[in-house]
Amino acid sequence: MHEYSIVGSLIDRVQQEAVLHGSTRVHRLHVKIGELAGVELDLLKTAFDTFRERTICEGAELAIDSVAAVWACPSCDRAIARGAVLRCDTCGRPARMIHGDEIILERIEMEAPDV
């Protein structure tokens, strides 16, 4: 259940950014998570709801954008169809994952004093 450690790291990173910008409150976090990142989204949401209490993220919403896995040939950049053998039909090279294993904190919506 590494979702708990992911949430801990996420909240730590948001806290760092909040301090850097003098934020008083975080409203929403936007996170991109690849379908092959090994993250159970429902468990991640539950962990976030649990661990955000008494942090800068208390009351914040977690918006998750799920990213589909995309494979391509590293030589000729030919896309490999979903469900196909992960080898290029043109040149025979093994496919490379382009998207789908990422976990990215994309955006933080927070209150900060006027600058």
Residue 73 and residue 88 in contact, taking contact as beta carbons nearer than 8 Å: yes
| Burial class, 80, CB count within 10 angstroms (exposed 0-12 / middle 13-18 / buried 19+) | buried
| Burial class, 103, CB count within 10 angstroms (exposed 0-12 / middle 13-18 / buried 19+) | middle
The predicted-structure confidence for 17-71, as pLDDT tens digits, reads as follows 999 999 989 999 999 999 999 999 999 999 999 999 999 999 999 999 999 999 9
- Specify the pLDDT at position 87: 92
- Specify the pLDDT at position 113: 79
- Specify the pLDDT at position 15: 95
Residue 34 and residue 103 in contact, taking contact as beta carbons nearer than 8 Å: yes
Average pLDDT over residues 99-106: 96
Domains of the chain in start order, with CATH, are 3-106 (3.30.2320.80)
